[in-house]
Amino acid sequence: RKEVEQDPGPFNVPEGATVAFNCTYSNSASQSFFWYRQDCRKEPKLLMSVYSSGNEDGRFTAQLNRASQYISLLIRDSKLSDSATYLCVVNMGSSGSARQLTFGSGTQLTVLP
Amino acid sequence: NAGVTQTPKFRVLKTGQSMTLLCAQDMNHEYMYWYRQDPGMGLRLIHYSVGEGTTAKGEVPDGYNVSRLKKQNFLLGLESAAPSQTSVYFCASKGSRLADSYEQYFGPGTRLTVT
């Protein structure tokens, strides 16, 4: 079983739609959680961290359910510029730790005009 | 600041050839990482370094060697390239302080094809 599992998609949605991505992780000792965004043929970039209380950044909302070992990302009012691959990422260590990130294989989103 | 840079951006090798990928960062980060990304596999850690002169194996280290002689540079070597090493290679760096962001900063990637 993969340590971090995501639905690979692709998700094709019209502009303005709301879309949700889910991710599960296998290691209950995981400490920190993130969503990264990767544009086609580019490097991954941090989109947002995911906190137990849930957090929101503009049109993006991230949720964490430790009991179910489940992470989600909700994008409201989708824009064409949201088209990318979204990577669910889990870290065993704290912020100052070198502990490596474990990446899901990504969910591809295409927002259609 | 250039952030994280990688050299070269593209390379084609024949089986058995060797090469070195260079990663440089100007953020004074202690931690540096080499990943490979293959379709449907996500990013997998090859080797990492927690400081100048130190390196450690990641998830998929076989066939690769690394060196961190200077804090700002992290080199990835392929001694005898194999077609299975065809991939996109990303370097990343991260600060070591608790106050630092969780974020790993990635370079633009090197696309390597081994024929």
- Comparing CB atoms, the residue among B31, B97, B103 nearest residue A46 is B103
Q: Within chain A, which residues score under 70 in pLDDT?
A: 1, 92-99
> Among residues B21, B23, B7, which one has the least CA distance to residue B105?
B23
Who wins on pLDDT, B27 or A99?
A: B27
Is the minimum CB–CB distance between B29 and chain A shorter than 8 Å?
A: no
The beta-strand segments (E) located in B1-115 are 4-7, 10-13, 19-25, 31-38, 42-51, 54-57, 64-67, 73-78, 87-94, 105-106, 110-114
Task: Dump pLDDT digits (tens) for B50-94.
Answer: 999 999 999 899 999 999 999 999 999 999 999 999 999 999 999
Q: Given this model, what pLDDT does residue A94 score?
A: 53
Instruction: Tell which of B35, B38, B98, B104 to mutate to test the A interface (max A CBs under 10 Å).
Output: B104
- The answer to whether the CB atoms of B31 and A4 lie below 8 A apart is no
Task: Dump pLDDT digits (tens) for A34-43.
Answer: 999 999 999 9
Contacts of B5 in chain A (CB under 8 A): none
- The answer to whether the CB atoms of A101 and B96 lie below 8 A apart is no
Q: Given this model, what pLDDT does residue B82 score?
A: 97
Who wins on pLDDT, B74 or B104?
A: B74
The count of residues in chain B is 115
Q: Given this model, what pLDDT does residue A52 score?
A: 82
Instruction: Tell which of B9, B34, B41, B43 to mutate to test the A interface (max A CBs under 10 Å).
Output: B43
Is the minimum CB–CB distance between A48 and chain B shorter than 8 Å?
A: no
H-helix or E-strand spanning residue A45: strand A44-50
Q: Given this model, what pLDDT does residue B101 score?
A: 64
Q: Given this model, what pLDDT does residue B99 score?
A: 58
Torsion, Cα A35 A89 B75 B38, to 10 degrees, reads -100
> Alpha-carbon distance A33 to B108, whole Å?
23
Q: Given this model, what pLDDT does residue A101 score?
A: 83
